[in-house]
Amino acid sequence: MLNTLYKKKLDDLLALCRKNLGEFNEKLITDAFKFSLNAHRLDKRASGEPFIIHPYEVASIVASEIPLDDITVAAALLHDVVEDTKFTYEDVKAEFGETIADIVDGATKIEGMFENYEAKQVENYRKMLLSMSNDIRVILVKFADRLHNLKTLEYLNPERQVRMARETMEIYAPLAHRLGLSRVKIEFEDMAFKYLDRQFYKEISKKVIAKKRERENYIKKFIQPIKAELDKEGFKYEISGRAKHLNSIAKKMISRGKSFEEIYDLFAVRIILDTDDRNDCFTAYGIASEIYIPVPERFKDYISLPKQNGYQSIHTTLIGPEGKMVEVQIRTRDMHEVAEKGVAAHWKYKENISVNDNQMEDWISWIRDLFDSTSKESTPKQIMEGLKLNLYQDEIYVFTPKGDLKILPINSTPIDFAFDIHSEVGYKCIGAKVNGKIVPLDSKLKSGDQIEVITSKIKKPHQDWEKFAVTHKAKSDIHKYFNNERRLRIDEGRELWNKKLKKMKLTLSEDDMTKLLARLKFESLQHMYLSLAEGRLSAEELYELVKDRNKLISGEIVSPWVKPIEKAQTVKVKENEQTLFETYIKTARSTKNKIIAGGDVKDLLFSYANCCNPIPGEDIIGFISKTEGIKIHKKSCKNLSNLFLSDPQRIIDVQWPEQVEDEFFVGIKISGEDRPGMLNEITNVISVYSNTNIKSVSIASKGSLFDGTVILMVKNVTHLNELIEKIKSIDGVFEVKRFEE
């Protein structure tokens, strides 16, 4: 028998279910409430209140903000039972059935999985995705759980407050956005913002409250003439105004570098039409834009082209009274339901068996794709970064040559488009046409672009693609390809070495191999095998180094990696663009130019680092080496972080002199269509432009395509960039970029 307090709680919850769920099993909700009350009867929360209040509030959020069905409400009431009490999964299953038990189990597994990047969290991550793809209600119960936890965050210590707030902002809010739950997403962001930057939150909140009456009066004035015209046209509608939510205002202030008073689009008006005809939205837009001047570049039609999460609405910005900008959203009642409740609005059920419509299938497919594209070899950090990458993304709308729509993240490239079609299309991509014109593969796509992928049976992906790919799928596929290639090369190197040892009847013990790796500065056996396979070291040379055991034991062996440039002159290597480049740049380190150094550094020799090959116009920094004076690196050099960690005291500020007399060796990689006269046209464009001196050209044809490297002399980065643009304009050239080690 329930006491008066708990009977009222149950009655209130049942009332919410009647209001928002339509038909539901009242006995199921009642039994779940009583079971949870009994399981948690001895538990209390950090606030001191009985624990049952938490599952009750979570179930109330499900029933009011994201109402799906009675199963979800019951699972919300039971979501902490397995984790926090003596009752098990089997107990819940026996009492309420497998579906509810699975939702409870899935929601339990998600807890704490984003706290760190420990290896144990990877399996939790995979389980969460799998649970979500099997039943989307798992994450919805977790959303409701997180919302209530945020509302009671004040009772936790500051460290846990910040951790939970950051996790909410980084994972839960964008995931709610991807599932179309805009109201939940806004609550997540504003409550997390409150604990991540208390002072900023208080400042904005105070100003929004202070301006409330002024805002309400302004919006009333703004919507009055629109209402009059909508009434005249016979529309049934709801129109309301509001201030942008606090986190949104904060982001605008930061991104625009403006104060609160300088942010002009703080007002938002929403028009919800009671109609089944979406064309009525465009009519309403026409009415509003006749009254107030629209800002053309801020019109967005998400009705004709819905967002990936199913969101549909017209967005426009109008110049209202006093010259103030007001954002206006126009949508139908059904569109509004989807905008607010997302996946919940698409949920249909019959006798507790879920039936997914097209939008539900899209959400489930997205979750499964993310699950399938996560490499088993990925580190925990890579997996979490992949998740975030897929959550934080504005969208663009692009088309295949046949007119099929593809939705990609903003800043996507043709490589992302190719891998979105299929992994094999990505791997074999050699170029792309955007709106009928061949473009470099790192070009950023825009909404409305039509893309045709050019493929070749013999083409392989470039390692550089990972640098400009945007989608998780493209990055993951490229990463998997090169990991597999590396494994094959390691196996090839191992076979070469074992054959050599067998032929020479030499056996090396494990201790011998350990000494060998240490003497030759190899990181691991895999590193050594890879070097053998790639021709940076031959099996014959390695054998010569290790055949004398006395030298191996005494440590007389000198590592071939100590001076890579000098070694490149004697070690037999494959004739490739890397070797060619090294051959030229090793003599290009003159010190006629007086590099300007900060501090008390004087009279030291300057030379330019081979790893990044800086040229005038690029930001540079100096590293004081032990034997070669000051090495000049680009600030973007990938090796700088290691140098800084090794000895930050040896990093110094340097800059180019006003006048630079020298010319600098630079490598350019070019790929394109192998047609008659192409090589002549490329060299002619280079040599004619500013009398550029070409030192070497290396071209390799592959079927109807070519890849090449040109070594030339440039004065500065402007000279180089302008030259690259000239080469890009040649018909049939697909890609031109600077070659760097």
Residue 591 has pLDDT above 50, yes or no: no
Instruction: Tell me the sheet residues that pair with 314.
Output: 301, 330
Query: pLDDT-derived band of residue 264, with 50, 70 and 90 as boundaries?
Result: low
Q: Is the dihedral of CA 146, 150, 151, 156 positive or negative?
A: positive
Confidence (pLDDT) at 413: 93
Grade residue 538 by pLDDT with cuts at 50, 70 and 90.
Answer: confident
pLDDT-derived band at 571, boundaries 50, 70, 90: very low
Query: Alpha-carbon distance 111 to 589, whole Å?
Result: 57
Q: Which residue has the higher pLDDT, 417 or 663?
A: 417
Percent of the chain with pLDDT over 70: 77
The pLDDT of residue 363 is above 60: no
Q: What tokens does 20 get? A: 């928002």
> Could you give the angle at the alpha carbon of 456 between the alpha carbons of 455 and 458, nearest 5°?
145
Cα-to-chain-centroid distance, residue 167: 16
Q: What is the pLDDT of residue 57?
A: 93
* Cβ atoms within 10 Å, residue 435: 12
205-344 has which fold? Beta Polymerase; domain 2 (3.30.460)
Residue 370, Cβ density class (10 Å: 0-12 exposed, 13-18 middle, ≥19 buried): buried
To 10 degrees, what angle do helices 472-503 and 414-421 make? 80
Higher pLDDT: 498 or 602? It is: 498
Tell me how far apart the alpha carbons of residues 601 and 630 are, in angstroms, rounded to a whole number. Answer: 10
Catalytic (active-site) positions: 83-84
Predicted TM-score (pTM) of this structure: 0.56
Measured between alpha carbons, how far is residue 516 from residues 155, 448, 555 in Å? 59, 58, 9
| Residue with token string 């390695």 | 542
DSSP code of 401?
T
User: Residue 288: pLDDT above 90?
Assistant: yes
Between 74 and 448, the more confident residue is 74
- In the chain, what are the domain boundaries? 4-204, 205-344, 480-574, 591-655, 664-739
Whether residue 394 is predicted with pLDDT greater than 90 in this model: the reply is no
Q: What pLDDT is recorded for position 111? A: 60
Contacts 24+ apart (CB under 8 A), 693-697: 693/663, 695/584, 695/665, 696/580, 696/584
534: confidence class by pLDDT, cuts 50, 70, 90: confident
pLDDT band at 604 (very low <50, low <70, confident <90, very high): low
pLDDT confidence band for 567 (50 / 70 / 90): very low
26 closest CA partner among 13, 7, 38, 36? 13
Question: What is residue 533's predicted lDDT score, i.e. its pLDDT?
Answer: 81
Instruction: Report the pLDDT value the prediction gives residue 368, as an integer from 0 to 100.
Output: 57
pLDDT at site 560: 46
In this structure, of 34-38, 455-459, 482-486, the range with the lowest mean pLDDT score is 455-459
Residue with tokens 């040559």: 401
Most confident of 178-182, 243-247, 324-328, 589-593: 324-328
What pLDDT is stored for residue 228 in this prediction?
94
- What is the average pLDDT across 471-478? 84
Task: Find the range with the poorest average confidence among 107-111, 230-234, 504-508, 692-696.
Answer: 107-111
Q: How confident is the model at residue 561 (pLDDT cuts 50, 70, 90)?
A: very low
pLDDT at 518 over 50: yes
Q: What is the mean pLDDT of the chain?
A: 78
Give the Cα separation of 265 and 277 in Å (integer).
29
pLDDT grade, residue 625 (50/70/90)? Answer: confident
User: Could you count the other beta carbons within 10 Å of the beta carbon of residue 443?
Assistant: 18
The CATH class of the 4-204 domain is: mainly alpha
Q: What are the tens digits of pLDDT across the range 188-220?
A: 999 999 998 989 989 888 888 888 888 889 999
Please give the radius of gyration of the chain, using alpha carbons only, rounded to the nearest integer: 32
**Per-residue pLDDT at 340 exceeds 50:** yes
Confidence (pLDDT) at 556? 52
Max mean pLDDT among 256-265, 358-367, 433-442, 534-543 falls in 433-442
> What is the per-residue pLDDT for 279?
93
**Residues 734/438, Cβ–Cβ less than 8 Å:** yes
Output the pLDDT for position 318: 92
Lowest mean pLDDT among 63-77, 111-125, 644-658, 691-705: 111-125
448-472 average pLDDT score: 83
pLDDT digits over 677-701, tens only?
A: 888 889 888 988 888 988 888 888 7
Q: Is the pLDDT of residue 578 over 50?
A: no
Whether 409 contacts 420, CB under 8 Å: no
CATH class for the region spanning 664-739? alpha beta
Segment among 259-263, 341-345, 581-585, 621-625 with least mean pLDDT: 581-585
Position 25 pLDDT exceeds 80: yes
Cα(730)–Cα(469) distance, rounded to whole angstroms? 25
4-204 shares its CATH topology with 664-739: no
* Beta carbons of 55 and 10 less than 8 angstroms apart: no
CA atoms within 13 Å, Cβ hemisphere of 61 = 25
pLDDT of residue 548: 62
Cα separation, 74 vs 610, in Å, equals 65
Contact yes or no for 611/605 (Cβ under 8 A): no
